[in-house]
Structure formats: C-alpha cells, structure tokens
Structure 1
Amino acid sequence: KAAEAAKEKAAAQAAEALEKEKKLKAEAEEKEKRRKAEEEKKQKEEMQDALEQTQRKTQIAKTEVARVQKLVVTYRQQKVSYAETGEVEKMRDLEPLLENAEAELDT
C-alpha cells in the first residue's frame, strides 16, 4: 500500500512537473512572439520614416528642377529680347548664366 501511494505521489509530481514545463514553454513562446511583434513594429516605423524622408527629398528636388527650368526660360527670353534690341554686350553677359542653368538641368 505504501509503495502504491508513493507511486501515485511520484506520478502526480511528474504530471505537475510536466504541466509546469508546458506553462513555462508557453510563456517563453508568448514572450518571443511579443518580442518579434515589437521588432516588426520598430522596423515598420523605420521604413515609414525613411519613406517619408525620401518623399520630402524628392519633392525638394522637383521644386529645385522647376526653379532652374523657370530660370532657363527667363534667361532665354532675356537673350531673345537683347538680340531684338541689338544689346550684344548684355547678350554676352547673359550667356554664361544661361549655360550654367542649362548645365544644372543636365545633372
């Protein structure tokens, strides 16, 4: 009888230990899942920040290109105006400015 009771006690302890092990494993898995979710969230935020920064840079670049294009048009109009009025010296002064603006567009 005592041996049977000891056997039952050992079986109960083994079942309890197994249950405890399952619980610890489940907790560890849940902790790992939360860690991965937090890591994914952080990566998403970093990607979103990088995307927004790239969009801002793109918008700045587009604005700069539009500004230089407008400058080229203005210089060309001035050049034509100077040519029509025979202001050769002013045309020559304008030429390097126009060339620089056109070169800036090519880059």
Structure 2
Amino acid sequence: MTTIDVRPTPSPRTRLRLTRRGRRALASVTALPAVVAVSIAVISGGGALASSEAGAPQGSFTSVTVMSGDSLWTIAEEVAPQADPRDVVDAIIRLNALGSGQLDAGQTLAIPAEYATES
C-alpha cells in the first residue's frame, strides 16, 4: 500500500509590487477626497466674493454697533418697534449676509433704512 502525502504545500510569499502606473493610480484615489473637500470649500465659501450683484444703494441703510448681550431680535425690536421683529431680523440678516445669528460685541450691522426710520 502506498501512502500519499496530502499536506498542503505552502505557496511562496511574494511582496506586492506596484508599477509606476499603479502608484499613480493609488495616489490619485488617495488624494481624491482631499481634492473634493477643497473644491467644495472654495465653491461654497467664495460665492459672496464672486457675486456680480451690486451692493446696496448708498443711503438705503443705517448702521448700529452691537453691544454686549445684544441679539438680532433685541436690535430688531429696538430699531423698529412697530414692525414684526421676524421681518426686521430677516432683513438685517440678508443685508449683512450673515451666515448665522451669532453677533459679536463691537460688530457693526447695517439696518435697512425702511426700519431705521420707524424708531
């Protein structure tokens, strides 16, 4: 009777070798998320600077300086007590191109003249 050796023979170990083309492809795939992130940041952040819109006409607004503790709501109630504060806050945000309601003490805000004349 003959016996057959059934043990698996180990396959030879090889190192992964990348060709020049493979290294370029790997670098491109790896850099792609960074390129996309920078592109989005440039596109979304530069919109206001690249706008072709003209600014507000001179004399169509007055300005106020934000004091400590002020909010858009309190400023709206102060400059236009007869108007709906929601409308005034919206107009202030649009005129000043504010991204959020965060205000800093000492910041100067433009107030639409239509509301500034009511106070």
| TM norm. shorter chain > 0.5 | no
Compare the two structures and name the one with the higher strand fraction.
2
TM category, shorter: 0.3 to 0.5
TM-score (norm 2): 0.30
Compare the two structures and name the one with the higher helix fraction.
1
Q: Which has the higher contact order (CA 8 A, sep 6+)?
A: 2
Could you say which structure has the larger radius of gyration?
A: 1
